[in-house]
């Protein structure tokens, strides 16, 4: 088989597994927030990480479905991620 014959199959496999949802963007923003709280970034990285976090937050807000009018939730601008504690097997 030539390379051109296998490429469409490879591209199809990639596109089937490369689905990303709004929840994935929320997860990324949460991971950045948690890592920042834990001191995972050096001061020279703050600008790059902060810019990415700002862009993720804007994307999430622009693409989130409108909240129901009956539901009142205070938004302090922070996305929350609850992690389960690790258990030893």
Domain presence at residue 13: no
This prediction has a pTM of 0.56
Count of domains observed in the chain: 1
Residue among 29, 72, 24, 77 at smallest CA distance from 50: 29
Q: How far from each other are the two terminal CA atoms of the chain, in whole angstroms?
A: 47
- Each residue's pLDDT, cut to its tens digit, for the chain (89 residues) gives 555 555 555 555 555 667 999 999 999 999 999 999 999 999 999 999 999 999 999 999 999 988 775 555 555 555 566 666 656 54
Contact (Cβ atoms closer than 8 angstroms) between residue 24 and residue 56: no
Q: Is 88 a member of any domain?
A: no
Q: What is the domain range of residue 47? A: 18-62
Contact predicate 44/31, CB 8 Å: no
Does 24 reside within a domain? yes
Is 81 a member of any domain?
Answer: no
Tell whether 57 is covered by a domain.
yes
Residue 72: inside a domain, yes or no?
no
């Amino acid at each position: 088989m030539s390379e051109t014959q296998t490429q469409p199959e490879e591209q199809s496999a990639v596109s089937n597994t490369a689905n990303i949802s709004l929840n994935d963007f929320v997860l990324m923003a949460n991971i950045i927030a948690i890592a920042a709280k834990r001191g995972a970034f050096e001061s020279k990285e703050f600008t790059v990480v902060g810019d990415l976090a700002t862009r993720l937050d804007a994307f999430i807000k622009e693409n989130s479905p409108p909240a129901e009018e009956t539901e009142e939730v205070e938004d302090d601008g922070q996305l929350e991620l609850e992690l389960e504690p690790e258990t030893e097997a």
